[in-house]
Amino acid sequence: MKASIIIIGDEILLGKVTDTNSGAIARVLDPAGWQIGDIVTVGDEREEIAEAVERALKRSQLVITTGGLGPTKDDITKGVLTDIFGGELCMNHEVTENIRRVFALRGLTLNPLTEAQALVPSSCRVIQNRYGTAPIMWFEKDGKVLVSMPGVPFETEGMLPEVAAAISERFTPDSEVSHASVMVTGITESALATRLEGYEASLPTGLHLAYLPQPGLIHLRIDGIGAKGAGVSERVAEAHRRLLDELGDLAILDHEASAAQLVIEVMKRRGLTVATAESCTGGNIAHRLTMVPGSSEVYVGSIVSYANDVKINVLGVKAEDIEREGAVSREVVEQMAQGALRVTGADCAVATSGIAGPGGGSAEKPIGTVWMAWATATGTTSRVFKFPGNRSRVIDRASTEALLGLLKLT
Amino acid sequence: MKASIIIIGDEILLGKVTDTNSGAIARVLDPAGWQIGDIVTVGDEREEIAEAVERALKRSQLVITTGGLGPTKDDITKGVLTDIFGGELCMNHEVTENIRRVFALRGLTLNPLTEAQALVPSSCRVIQNRYGTAPIMWFEKDGKVLVSMPGVPFETEGMLPEVAAAISERFTPDSEVSHASVMVTGITESALATRLEGYEASLPTGLHLAYLPQPGLIHLRIDGIGAKGAGVSERVAEAHRRLLDELGDLAILDHEASAAQLVIEVMKRRGLTVATAESCTGGNIAHRLTMVPGSSEVYVGSIVSYANDVKINVLGVKAEDIEREGAVSREVVEQMAQGALRVTGADCAVATSGIAGPGGGSAEKPIGTVWMAWATATGTTSRVFKFPGNRSRVIDRASTEALLGLLKLT
């Protein structure tokens, strides 16, 4: 069965805010057997919202909208939905109670604008929002369902399990969807595609191989769809086994993982602890590793030595080497990695020192120059990279290479 | 004039990848006077892409698509565009040269699949992609323009200035758009909306006030649109001045800024340096601060003391206090902040220690409990927070509160 997602908000159309709600919704609907046909983002304009909703209701059995439910004047979704589904805006006492509860928890007092959030179309069923004040509204018309959710990602993500359960109760999808992933390194996307031509041609109907390249990694995903109970997940599992055989050592993991998750999984398996010493990556490697639940079993911490004094005083880098070679140099980054091992007591460490821009570049060391060193008790290796792109890209790419380099330590 | 954006890719529909291209495109088109009517995401399916393109060409003078141009088999955009705009797929020698150049730079050798990227519809004009192998294709039909760009964000972002210049040359927008922002703290969105009711009512036609709440901050944006040369930007500037007067001390900055940018700007103005000591935030505060260009004038670094040994050995936290009070406690977090001041020599420091989950919670200290301390040479203050939500949300909210707390130090 088909589903459509509509994201409402000028801030997203203008590129001021990145939409993450559609992804969160998709990650819940897809495994439940829904095919997401499209995601449409429209601004806070009555006609645009109305047109997007009418169109989605034609295309799909299920429509989920997010946004346009706040207490301020630029939020008009409720009026549009009342026009489409009928009824009139009425004060809902349970919603009022919920708003009072949320405000009390936050230690705030109510005002008339917030109270207006309790006005809901009489044509909808309310699912109480346990994470905020905007009510979740469930509409039905001609066998189609529209669920209106809040724009705040935290509220929508928090309420998704409850909304998904209500959807499962209402619909019994007639198709089944299954996915399996392999993470690959050490080969380009096109060389991999050439190598897998025969494998792809051999895939049974309903199965499809998708390439999702990331810097230094390729995520291969087998997507399967078929009638419910017709063995789709078994066929995907079989294709997954064959893919792993076909890839041999190129496959580093048999499920989806980010570079940081790979490091945590592989190091946990090897029983090793990790530390970082970061200059140009400024804590991003530490952040990525510590976003992985359970990372504390592997990761002990980082010295983010942004200033040279911190490199010298905390990591023990020699001031004369910074003076002579510059902070972005093999000598300095190797001392940083060794210093991180020493002060944290970890089994392995990676250090970064580079020029992320927009300032600081020179002819000899242009923006994007990043020195990295990986150290263990038995030795230190180092390498210089030249990354293209802006500050954020240089930091991101350098962090990924630093992580992937840890996987090569033995 | 109206523009539409189409994002092509199963990985985005399935929520495996977050689209950032539409935002990058919007941030270029909006200031150039384009009204972005909608952003539509569709999968790698011929009919879906064709329908989205036909519809966008009806709605808008300008359509920009991204994605579906890679060398692998799931990319079919080129065929769809040939069907719509006519012509046939022909080998383009300049594109072949560009692919060779990019591959040589990356030290890779060509293969037949990559060479097929040089096949382009004869109906398009090619803009060479200086950041990758997929050519950018410019189509025209009945006075409308469609530009097909790559899906890889780095390539699309890199090529946007050149594409925007070509668009400006081709079109002369008849309307003008202007924006101005104010960052506000210390008030709820609804209380702020009540306070600004009179102000909002007084705004001239074509001007609109948008509320973009973030944790601990509200971003107010004045949006203005009008005929070219009719003084829209002057009216927005005047409304901006009046808004700043109206808000007084609630306004902490007269332009858009993240919490990290606020810290860097305010501390630079005060001539103070900042350090961090992070346990549960795991380097995220350091990462956010160092993403700000020029942050090295203010920020000296962080001790990410994820393991207790690092708290003790690097920051000088007393082992017996960790033993007695636990790592998530006032005693420990205050010693962490003081330790960060001592080892980095910064003027002020913030430290975090908490339970981000999913593991580690207890009845006394549930998941979301975060202790924070802010230290200067003259004293240390601390506070405990209970954040709702999952690991990523706890880390994010704690980082924001830590940053906003730095602004209160005097």
B408 at interface of A, judged by CB pairs closer than 8 A: no
Closest-CA residue of B relative to A343 is B314
Range of weakest confidence among A65-79, A189-203, B16-30, B155-169: A65-79
Asked if residue B289 lies in contact with residue B274, where contact means CB atoms within 8 angstroms, the answer is yes
Q: Looking at residue B74, what is its pLDDT?
A: 57
Side-chain half-sphere exposure of A101, counting CA atoms within 13 A: 14
Same domain for A72 and A149?
yes
Six token digits for residue A375 = 């150290």
pLDDT band of A74, cuts 50, 70, 90: low
Q: Looking at residue B75, what is its pLDDT?
A: 66
Amino acid occupying residue A148: S
Same domain for A290 and A382?
yes
Q: What is the pLDDT of residues A267-321, one digit of tens each?
A: 998 999 999 999 999 999 999 999 999 999 999 999 999 999 999 999 999 999 9
Chain centroid offset of residue B334 CA: 32
Q: Decide if pLDDT at A367 tops 90.
A: yes
Residue A166's closest CA among A44, A29, A271, A302?
Answer: A29
Same domain for A160 and A194?
no
Shortest distance between the Cα of B78 and any Cα of chain A, in A, equals: 17
Q: Looking at residue A73, what is its pLDDT?
A: 57
Is B304 within 8 Å of A309 when comparing Cβ atoms?
no
Domain boundary among the residues A170, A196, A222 is at A170
Residues in contact with A220: Cβ distance below 8 Å, sequence separation at least 6, in sequence order:
A181, A182, A183, A184, A192, A209, A210, A211, A212, A243
Residue A306's closest CA among B280, B316, B346?
Answer: B346
pLDDT band of B4, cuts 50, 70, 90: very high
Q: Looking at residue A370, what is its pLDDT?
A: 97
A296 at interface of B, judged by CB pairs closer than 8 A: yes
Q: Decide if pLDDT at B73 tops 60.
A: no
CA distance B224 to B226: 7
Asked if residue B287 lies in contact with residue B257, where contact means CB atoms within 8 angstroms, the answer is no
pLDDT band of A108, cuts 50, 70, 90: confident
pLDDT band of A260, cuts 50, 70, 90: very high
Same domain for A227 and A286?
no
Q: What is the largest CA-CA distance in chain B?
A: 77
Cα three-residue angle B36-B41-B46, rounded to 5 degrees: 120
Q: What is the pLDDT of residues B161-202, one digit of tens each?
A: 999 999 988 997 677 888 999 999 888 888 999 999 999 999
Q: Decide if pLDDT at B406 tops 90.
A: yes
Q: Tokens 């699949």 label which residue?
A: B113
Residue B235's closest CA among B208, B274, B267?
Answer: B208
A46 at interface of B, judged by CB pairs closer than 8 A: no
Q: Tokens 């939905």 label which residue?
A: A81
Predicted complex: ipTM over 0.85 = no
Same domain for B46 and B141?
yes
Within 8 A of A15 by CB-CB distance, chain B residues are: 22-27, 30
Six token digits for residue A359 = 């300032």
Asked if residue A358 lies in contact with residue A340, where contact means CB atoms within 8 angstroms, the answer is no
Average pLDDT of the segment spanning B104-113 = 73
Q: Looking at residue A245, what is its pLDDT?
A: 96
A199 at interface of B, judged by CB pairs closer than 8 A: no
Measured in degrees and rounded to the nearest 5, phi and psi for residue B381 equal: -120, 155
Amino acid occupying residue B114: T
Amino acid occupying residue B169: E
Is A290 within 8 Å of B20 when comparing Cβ atoms?
no
CATH number assigned to the domain comprising residue B316: 3.90.950.20
B301 at interface of A, judged by CB pairs closer than 8 A: yes
A290 at interface of B, judged by CB pairs closer than 8 A: yes
Asked if residue B314 lies in contact with residue B343, where contact means CB atoms within 8 angstroms, the answer is yes
Measured in degrees and rounded to the nearest 5, phi and psi for residue B233 equal: -65, -30
For chain B, the domain total comes to 3
Shortest distance between the Cα of B309 and any Cα of chain A, in A, equals: 7
CA distance A253 to B51: 38
Same domain for A233 and A272?
no
Domain boundary among the residues B253, B285, B316 is at B253
Q: What is the pLDDT of residues B225-234, one digit of tens each?
A: 888 888 999 9
Shortest distance between the Cα of B293 and any Cα of chain A, in A, equals: 7
Is A193 within 8 Å of B290 when comparing Cβ atoms?
no
Chain centroid offset of residue A314 CA: 34
pLDDT band of B130, cuts 50, 70, 90: confident
Same domain for A285 and A358?
yes
Same domain for A96 and A34?
yes
Within 8 A of A3 by CB-CB distance, chain B residues are: none
Same domain for B17 and B78?
yes
Integer distance in angstroms from the first to the last C-alpha of chain A?
A: 48
Is B26 within 8 Å of A10 when comparing Cβ atoms?
no
Six token digits for residue B292 = 């700000």
Q: Looking at residue A201, what is its pLDDT?
A: 94
Within 8 A of B113 by CB-CB distance, chain A residues are: 190, 193-194
Residue from A13, A272, A292, A393 to probe the interface with B (highest B Cβ count within 10 Å): A13
Q: How far is CA A264 from CA A179, A180, B353, in A?
A: 23, 21, 21
Within 8 A of A16 by CB-CB distance, chain B residues are: 23, 212, 219, 221, 256
A189 at interface of B, judged by CB pairs closer than 8 A: yes
pLDDT, averaged across chain B: 92
Q: Tokens 């948008």 label which residue?
A: B210
Number of residues written out for chain A: 410
Read off the DSSP letter of residue A204. Answer: P
Within 8 A of A38 by CB-CB distance, chain B residues are: 13, 40-42, 48, 52
Q: How far is CA A235 from CA A174, A178, A226, A231, B14, in A?
A: 18, 9, 10, 6, 20
Asked if residue A221 lies in contact with residue A181, where contact means CB atoms within 8 angstroms, the answer is yes
Q: How far is CA B6 from CA A38, B9, B34, B140, B187, in A?
A: 10, 10, 15, 16, 38
CA distance B330 to B353: 9
Q: Looking at residue B234, what is its pLDDT?
A: 95
Q: How many A/B residue pairs have CB atoms within 8 Å?
A: 303
Shortest distance between the Cα of A358 and any Cα of chain B, in A, equals: 7
Q: Decide if pLDDT at A350 tops 90.
A: yes
Strand (E) positions, A228-337? 251-253, 274-278, 299-305
Option in A154, A276, A310 nearest B393 (CB):
A154
Q: Decide if pLDDT at B256 tops 60.
A: yes
CA distance A353 to A330: 9
Average pLDDT of the segment spanning B350-356 = 97
Show the domain range for B321.
259-408
pLDDT band of B94, cuts 50, 70, 90: confident
pLDDT band of A100, cuts 50, 70, 90: confident
Sign of CA dihedral A58, A64, A66, A68: positive
**B residues 135-154 near A, CB within 8 Å?**
154
Amino acid occupying residue A274: V
Within 8 A of A304 by CB-CB distance, chain B residues are: 276, 283, 286, 290, 301-304
CATH number assigned to the domain comprising residue B136: 3.40.980.10
Amino acid occupying residue A293: P
Residue B52's closest CA among A11, A144, A81, A55?
Answer: A55
Asked if residue B150 lies in contact with residue B134, where contact means CB atoms within 8 angstroms, the answer is yes
Range of weakest confidence among A114-118, A398-402, B188-192, B364-368: A114-118
Same domain for A39 and A141?
yes
Within 8 A of B19 by CB-CB distance, chain A residues are: 18-19
Is A14 within 8 Å of B37 when comparing Cβ atoms?
no
CATH number assigned to the domain comprising residue B208: 3.30.70.2860
Within 8 A of A189 by CB-CB distance, chain B residues are: 70-72
pLDDT, averaged across chain A: 92
Same domain for A162 and A17?
yes
Percent of chain A with pLDDT over 90: 69
Same domain for B187 and B272?
no
Strands A379-386 and A369-376: antiparallel
Domain boundary among the residues A253, A280, A304 is at A253
Shortest distance between the Cα of A280 and any Cα of chain B, in A, equals: 8
Q: Decide if pLDDT at B159 tops 60.
A: yes
